[in-house]
């Protein structure tokens, strides 16, 4: 079984722990629940399947039943609170705790670098700008951003991008991209990508006054649809995004960095009605 710090979902961690114990002994859900002090023999089975969650009170009992010690207990408790958090702010707080614990014990958390990449608009923009400006100092790159950013922030972004493998330095302040494009997994990094979408959405609103109509393209349509039509439109948007990414990758002489947002969201609740016959 892999180390606990390689998990971000405590339901999955508990499920793997159970399967490992069961593989090597006559372990059962009843025994697992009994060791942790739960009356219901199926409680931890329901937790592992995602039907219910641990609480601040019960997570300590489960950690003790599993035999976690030291930093493992702290990581497990942060992971439970991360999984149970209802807001992005709380999720970010507990994820940072998990990353800090893992870093202190020289273990890398899965998706940690990707989370940091998507946590700010600066990283994707600097990743695109730095290769276009060979030899440029951080302050020069900062001046080329349409949004306010300091030379120190650019320097930190460059250091992170190089360390995480998004950029490679081949000379004095000369960078190349390790990949033509970066695409996040909605399943693997929902919190980080929501943070990026929120920032980029705010920048899109700002662009309405900051740029003239021939420098930006903002359009939209309001429509009535059902679930099946929604799924068809989402498919078309995905295909459109992929095609646009492919077109951008064909550009050999890049002069400017742009951001494209694709947004489809409800403006009303679902109206109950009779199905067509």
Mean pLDDT in consecutive groups of 10 residues from the start of the chain, 277 residues? 85 91 84 90 89 90 88 92 91 89 66 74 92 94 93 94 90 87 57 80 90 90 91 89 82 88 86 63
34 vs 58: CA distance, rounded Å? 13
CATH of domain 4-110: 1.10.260
4-110 and 111-210 agree in CATH topology: no
CATH of domain 111-210: 1.10.10
Assess contact for 203 and 145: CB atoms under 8 A: no
Helices in the chain by DSSP H: which ranges?
10-24, 29-36, 43-48, 56-66, 71-84, 88-104, 112-118, 122-132, 138-143, 151-163, 190-210, 227-249
- Across-strand partners of 54? none
248 vs 244: CA distance, rounded Å? 6
Q: Count how many residues are written for the chain.
A: 277
Measured between its terminal Cα atoms, the distance across the chain in Å is 53
Predicted pLDDT of residue 79: 94
Assess contact for 117 and 124: CB atoms under 8 A: yes
Predicted pLDDT of residue 277: 47
Predicted pLDDT of residue 120: 83
Assess contact for 78 and 97: CB atoms under 8 A: yes
* Domain ranges, ordered by start, for the chain: 4-110, 111-210
Which residues of the chain form beta strands (DSSP E)? Answer: 167-171, 174-177
Q: Which long-range contacts (CB under 8 A, 24 or more apart) does 269-277 make?
A: none
Q: Which two tokens stand for residue 171?
A: 């000379």
Phi (first) and psi of residue 219, to 5 degrees: -135, 170
Q: Which two tokens stand for residue 197?
A: 């979408």
199 vs 195: CA distance, rounded Å? 6
Nearest Cα to Cα of residue 145 among 157, 163, 135: 157
- State how far the alpha carbon of 47 is from the alpha carbons of 44, 53, 61, 220, 271, in Å: 5, 5, 14, 42, 34
Q: Which long-range contacts (CB under 8 A, 24 or more apart) does 33-40 make?
A: 35/65, 36/61, 36/62, 36/64, 36/65, 37/61, 37/65
15 vs 200: CA distance, rounded Å? 37
Predicted pLDDT of residue 187: 45
């Amino acid at each position: 079984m892999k180390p606990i710090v390689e998990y971000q979902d405590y339901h999955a961690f508990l499920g793997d722990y159970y399967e490992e114990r069961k593989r090597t002994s006559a372990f059962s859900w009843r025994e697992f629940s009994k060791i942790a002090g739960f009356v219901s023999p199926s409680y931890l089975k329901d937790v592992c399947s995602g039907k219910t969650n641990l609480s601040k009170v019960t997570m300590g009992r489960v950690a003790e039943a599993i035999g976690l010690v030291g930093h493992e207990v702290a990581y497990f408790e942060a992971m439970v609170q991360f999984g149970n958090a209802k807001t992005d702010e709380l999720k970010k707080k507990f994820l940072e705790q998990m990353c800090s614990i893992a870093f202190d014990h020289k273990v890398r958390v899965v998706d940690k670098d990707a989370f940091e990449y998507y946590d700010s608009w600066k990283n994707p923009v600097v990743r695109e700008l730095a290769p276009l400006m060979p030899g440029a100092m951080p302050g020069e790159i900062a001046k080329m951003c349409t949004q306010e950013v300091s030379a120190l922030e650019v320097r930190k972004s460059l250091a992170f991008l190089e360390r995480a493998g998004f950029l490679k330095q081949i000379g004095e302040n000369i960078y190349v991209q390790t990949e033509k494009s970066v695409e996040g997994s909605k399943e693997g990094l929902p919190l980080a990508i929501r943070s990026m979408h929120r920032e980029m959405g705010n920048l899109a609103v700002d662009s309405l006054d900051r740029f003239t109509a021939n420098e930006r393209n903002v359009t939209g349509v309001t429509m009535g649809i059902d679930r099946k039509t929604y799924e068809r439109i989402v498919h078309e948007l995905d295909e459109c995004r992929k095609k646009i990414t492919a077109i951008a990758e064909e550009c050999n002489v890049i002069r400017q960095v742009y951001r494209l947002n694709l947004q489809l969201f409800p403006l009303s609740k679902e109206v109950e009605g009779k199905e067509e016959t």
